[in-house]
Amino acid sequence: MYPQLLTSDPYSDIYPIFDFLINVVGIPFHDVRKCIVRCPRLLVSSVENQLMPTLEFLRNLGFVGCNEINCQTTLLLVSSVEHTLVKKIEYLEEMGFENSEVREMVLRSPGLLTFSIENNFKPKMDFFLEEMKGELEEIRKFPQYFSFSLERKIKPRHRLLVEHGFRISLSEMLKVSDGEFNARLIEMRLRSLDKRRL
């Protein structure tokens, strides 16, 4: 992915990145490998011009304490603050969320900062508001909604619920496996039939 690594100087180019991850970000030594495997672009990023400014932005956003950057979220460090992170936060605010709500959502689901506005946020938000007639509060409570496939999971499950006249929360609809979802749907249908008999 990054052939320039073969000509990088380990002492001046690569060691400073490991030093930054361990001593500044606070990644345990045994987790550094996971960080690099998940995001090899870290090894070709400037500590001074890219990684440090982004880390400061993320910490100001709330990625501290129990939410501090870890081996799962170090990939956020290679994002452009101005062109990527800020734009996604602004988009969510334009949708009607308060800044404090956006911060809370991003801390609960850091993947939000990696999703495309055009290919992820917009189509899923449009479907949620227009087809599902959902309330923003539902997404505030379950921001992971954006991490599920619109075509493979969200639309088919919503369609099944509508066909049978049911409505459940986003987390109940999406967090379970296909088998669990179908079992829950059958259970709701049986309960519905029992009520009619009564």
31 burial (CB, 10 Å; 0-12 / 13-18 / 19+) is: middle
Number of H helices, E strands in the chain: 10, 0
The one-letter amino acid code at 166 reads F
Q: Which is nearest to 63 in space by CA: 34, 104, 18?
A: 104
> pLDDT over 70 for what percent of the chain?
97
Listed in sequence order, the residues at least 6 apart from 63 whose beta carbon sits closer than 8 Å to its beta carbon are 69, 73, 76, 107, 110
pLDDT at 2: 87
Mean pLDDT score of the chain? 94
pLDDT at 196: 66
SS3 content of the chain, % helix, strand, coil (to 5): 75, 0, 25
Q: Is 54 helix (H, G, I), strand (E, B) or coil?
A: helix
pLDDT in tens, 80-91: 999 999 999 999
44 burial (CB, 10 Å; 0-12 / 13-18 / 19+) is: middle
Q: Domain coordinates of the chain in residue numbers? A: 1-78, 81-147, 149-198
pLDDT at 197: 62
Instruction: Give ∠ CA 14-20-21 in degrees, rounded to 5.
Output: 95
Rounded average pLDDT over 84-111: 96
178-197 helix and 155-163 helix, angle to the nearest 10 degrees: 10
Is the pLDDT at 120 greater than 70? The verdict is: yes
pLDDT at 172: 93
How far is it, in rounded angstroms, from Cα 15 to Cα 146?
A: 36
